[in-house]
Amino acid sequence: MELGTQLLQYLLSGLSTGAIYALIGIGFSIIYNATGIINFAQGEFVMLGGMLTLFLLSVLQLPLWIAIPLAVLLAALVGLLFERLAIRPLRKASPISLVIITIGGAILIRGLAMLIWGKDTHSLPSFTGDEPIMLAGATLLPQHLWIFGITVVLIGLNKWFFSHTISGKAMRACSYNPRAAGLVGIDVRRMVLLSFVISAAMGALAGIIVAPLTMTAYDVGIMLGLKGFCAAIIGGMSSGLSTVIGGLVLGVLESLGAGLISSGYKDAIAFVILLLILFLRPQGLFGKPESERV
Amino acid sequence: MKRELLKYSIFAVCVLLAPLAFLDSYLLNVLVFVGIHTMLAVALNLLLGYAGQISLGHAAFFGLGAYLSGVLTTTYGWNPWFTMLVAAIVVGGLAFMIGFPILKLKGHYLAMATLGLGIIIFIVFNEWVEVTSGPSGFSGIPNLQLGQLIFDSDLKNYYLVWCFVLGCVLLSVNLANSRIGRALRAIHDAEVAARVVGVNARLLKVQIFALSAMISAIAGSLYAHVMTFIAPPSFGFNISVELLTMVVIGGLGSIYGSFLGALLLTLLPEFLRFMHDYDIVFYGGLLMVMTIFMPGGLVQGIPDLFRKLVGLRKGKGDSHA
Reported as half-sphere exposure (CB side, CA atoms, 13 A), residue B15 has a value of 25
Contacts of A29 in chain B (CB under 8 A): none
Q: Which residue of A has its CA nearest to B276?
A: A115
Q: Closest to B284 (Cβ–Cβ): which among A111, A274, A282? A: A111
Contact B116 A275 (CB under 8 A): yes
| Gap from A218 CA to chain B (nearest CA, Å) | 12
Mean pLDDT value of segment A43-47 = 94
Q: How would you classify residue A39: left for phi > 0, otherwise alpha for psi between -120 and 50, otherwise beta?
A: beta
Task: Spell A103-126 as b/e; 16+ CB within 10 A means b.
Answer: bbbbbbbbbbbbeebeeeebebeb
CA B222/CA B65 separation, integer angstroms: 9
Of A29, A97, A99, which to mutate for an interface test with B (greatest number of B Cβ within 10 Å)? Answer: A99
Top-ranked range on mean pLDDT: pick from A283-287, B22-26, B135-139: B135-139
Single-letter residue type at B93: G
Mean pLDDT value of segment B244-266 = 87
Largest CA-CA distance found in chain B, in angstroms, rounded: 70
Contacts of B284 in chain A (CB under 8 A): 104-111
Task: Spell B134-162 as b/e; 16+ CB within 10 A means b.
Answer: beebbeebbbbeeeeeebeebebbbebbb
CATH numeric code, B2-272: 1.10.3470
ipTM of the complex: 0.82
| Residue B212: band (very low, low, confident or very high) from pLDDT cuts 50, 70, 90 | very high
Are A16 and A251 in contact by the 8 Å Cβ rule? The answer is yes
Query: Residue B314's pLDDT is what?
Result: 66
Residue B282, H or E segment: helix B279-293
SS3 call for B140: coil
Q: Closest to A111 (Cβ–Cβ): which among B48, B117, B281? A: B281
Q: Give the closest residue to A84 by CA, choosing from A232, A2, A194.
A: A194
Query: Residue B190's pLDDT is what?
Result: 83
Mean pLDDT value of segment B276-290 = 78
What is the tens place of the pLDDT at every residue in B95-133? 999 999 998 888 778 888 998 999 999 999 999 988 888
Burial group, residue B68, by CB count within 10 angstroms (0-12, 13-18, 19+):
buried
Query: The pTM is what?
Result: 0.86
Domain boundaries, chain B: 2-272, 282-321
The β-bridge partners of B89 are: none
Are A101 and B292 in contact by the 8 Å Cβ rule? The answer is yes
Tell me what the pLDDT averaged over chain A comes to.
87
Burial group, residue B38, by CB count within 10 angstroms (0-12, 13-18, 19+):
buried
Q: Closest to B291 (Cβ–Cβ): which among A104, A268, A271? A: A104
Q: Which residue of B has its CA nearest to A223?
A: B119
Contact B124 A271 (CB under 8 A): no
CA A23/CA A243 separation, integer angstroms: 9
Mean pLDDT value of segment A220-231 = 88
Contacts of B295 in chain A (CB under 8 A): 93, 97
Query: Residue B317's pLDDT is what?
Result: 45
Q: Give the closest residue to B32 by CA, choosing from B276, B271, B262.
A: B262
User: Strands B149-150 and B138-139: what pairing?
Assistant: unpaired
Mean pLDDT value of segment B59-71 = 94
Q: What percent of chain A has pLDDT over 70?
A: 96
Query: Residue B70's pLDDT is what?
Result: 92
What is the tens place of the pLDDT at every residue in A175-187? 888 888 889 988 8
Are A252 and A11 in contact by the 8 Å Cβ rule? The answer is yes
| Residue B171: band (very low, low, confident or very high) from pLDDT cuts 50, 70, 90 | very high
CA B243/CA A106 separation, integer angstroms: 16
Mean pLDDT value of segment B41-49 = 92
